[in-house]
């Protein structure tokens, strides 16, 4: 990353939230939805959304300037990515995830970033993950939103991770079950158990049943850091778990995985990771600021940090591969024997 030399680059970062909020407001107010079938004029969009034309025109101008919409004559049209990911009828729809993750949780949480950095806890807008999961309604909403955002990474991880010959997977902190579902779909003989807080498992059961995997997937309620893990698994998967806990609990988690696995068992860790020299990439680095709202003492993860913890726990053949470019990596290691 080149160093910033111009004040305009500083202000671009400082005001970057405006573009995000314009997109999210348009999503929430149905602008993209009313253009899903064909281009529309200002007055047509105004009627469909119930927004006053003068205010709507200001929003549409911003959306066009950002490349979210195109404007030909008097007609507005969704950009290809908007049509694919921000229209609810599409199988690839991410709108609910973005509205929940970004608009409801991250925007208000980041107002408290300075306080979190000063050590005043994880903030009140989001709070520690276990507190979030304690409220059934919030847990369900959060888990459903996370599921939509996890489908793509889960499918990629299932393609990249060789589970041939493996019989049973323990998805620790498995949330909505997106990664379990993807791995089971990719490996027809694989069975699995999802371990997470009770209120998260309610949503996981729904998604697992909808995927037709109810007979192959069990659910185990508990805190991954304290509960006694169920036995009988030859794969332990932790996706987005190491970044959601305090840095000093990552080592104990990996030791628990080592104890739970038989000889030859496989540990798979998927998470945000920055480069070992701690210089980027920016997308992953910024996500670690978000992770502090789950746990104020969360660590910025690197490939070396993860593999060092794996080796310290007793694993061998630890290796790391990129999964989502500039954002996540997947690490794996074997229990010797």
Specify the pLDDT at position 134: 67
Answer whether residue 284 is part of any domain: yes
Q: Are residues 248 and 175 in the same domain?
A: yes
Answer whether residue 50 is part of any domain: yes
Secondary structure (3-state) at 109: helix
Answer whether residue 289 is part of any domain: yes
Q: Are residues 77 and 211 in the same domain?
A: no
Specify the pLDDT at position 17: 94
Q: Are residues 57 and 176 in the same domain?
A: no
Residue 199: which CATH number? 3.40.50.150
Which of residues 69, 88, 107 is at a domain's end? 88
Give the burial string for 216-230 (b: 16+ CB within 10 Å, else e).
bbbbbebebeeeebe
Q: Are residues 207 and 130 in the same domain?
A: yes
Q: What's the pLDDT tens digit per position in 254-271?
A: 999 999 999 999 999 999
C-beta atoms surrounding 13 within 10 Å: 9
Q: Are residues 141 and 274 in the same domain?
A: yes
CA 241 to CA 152: how far, in whole Å?
17
Pick 121 or 272 by higher pLDDT. 272
CA 67 to CA 82: how far, in whole Å?
10
Q: What's the pLDDT tens digit per position in 77-125?
A: 999 999 999 999 998 888 988 988 888 888 888 998 998 889 887 666 6
Over the chain, what is the mean pLDDT? Answer: 92
Residue 54: which CATH number? 1.10.10.10
Answer whether residue 230 is part of any domain: yes
Q: What is the 3-state secondary structure (H, E, C) of 66-86?
A: CCCEEEECCEEEECHHHHHHC
Q: Are residues 33 and 155 in the same domain?
A: no
Q: Are residues 81 and 123 in the same domain?
A: no
- The yes-or-no verdict on residue 296 having pLDDT over 90 is no
Answer whether residue 1 is part of any domain: no
Which of residues 88, 106, 138 is at a domain's end? 88
Q: Are residues 194 and 77 in the same domain?
A: no
Domain with 50 in it: 7-88
Which of residues 88, 109, 140 is at a domain's end? 88
Q: Are residues 325 and 245 in the same domain?
A: yes
Answer whether residue 318 is part of any domain: yes
Q: Are residues 129 and 58 in the same domain?
A: no
CA 278 to CA 276: how far, in whole Å?
5
Q: Are residues 65 and 146 in the same domain?
A: no
Residue among 222, 233, 223, 232 nearest 268 (CA):
233
Q: Are residues 139 and 265 in the same domain?
A: yes
Answer whether residue 2 is part of any domain: no
Residue among 66, 73, 65 nearest 39 (CA):
73
- The yes-or-no verdict on residue 310 having pLDDT over 90 is yes
Q: How many domains does the chain have?
A: 2
40-41 β-sheet, strand order: 40-41, 75-78, 69-72
Answer whether residue 258 is part of any domain: yes
């Amino acid at each position: 990353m080149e160093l910033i030399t111009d004040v305009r680059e500083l202000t671009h970062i400082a005001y970057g939230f405006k573009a995000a909020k314009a997109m999210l407001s348009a999503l929430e107010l149905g602008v993209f939805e009313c253009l899903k079938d064909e281009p529309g004029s200002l007055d047509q969009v105004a009627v469909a959304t119930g927004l006053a034309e003068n205010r709507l025109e200001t929003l549409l101008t911003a959306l066009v300037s950002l490349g979210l919409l195109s404007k030909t004559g008097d007609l507005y049209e969704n950009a290809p990515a908007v049509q694919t990911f921000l229209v609810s009828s599409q199988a690839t729809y991410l709108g609910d995830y973005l509205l929940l993750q970004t608009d409801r949780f991250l925007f208000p949480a980041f107002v408290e970033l300075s306080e979190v950095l000063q050590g005043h806890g994880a903030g009140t807008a989001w709070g520690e993950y276990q507190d979030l999961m304690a409220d059934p309604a919030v847990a369900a909403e959060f888990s459903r939103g996370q599921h939509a955002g996890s489908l793509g990474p889960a499918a990629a991880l299932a393609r990249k991770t060789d589970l041939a010959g493996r019989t049973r997977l323990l998805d620790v902190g498995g949330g909505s079950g997106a990664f379990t579902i993807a791995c089971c779909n990719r490996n027809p003989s694989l069975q699995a158990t999802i371990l997470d807080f009770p209120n998260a498992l309610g949503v996981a059961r729904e998604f697992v049943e909808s995927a037709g995997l109810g007979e192959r997937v069990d659910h185990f309620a508990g805190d991954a850091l304290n509960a006694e893990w169920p036995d009988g698994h030859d794969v332990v998967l932790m996706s987005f778990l190491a970044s959601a806990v305090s840095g000093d609990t990552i080592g104990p988690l990996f030791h628990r995985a080592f104890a739970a696995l038989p000889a030859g068992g496989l540990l798979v860790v998927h998470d945000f990771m920055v480069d070992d020299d701690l210089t980027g990439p920016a997308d992953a680095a910024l996500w670690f600021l978000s992770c502090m709202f789950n746990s104020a003492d969360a660590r910025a993860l690197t490939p070396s940090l993860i593999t060092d913890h794996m080796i310290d726990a007793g694993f061998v053949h630890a290796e790391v591969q990129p999964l989502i470019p500039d954002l996540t990596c997947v690490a794996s290691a074997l229990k010797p024997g």
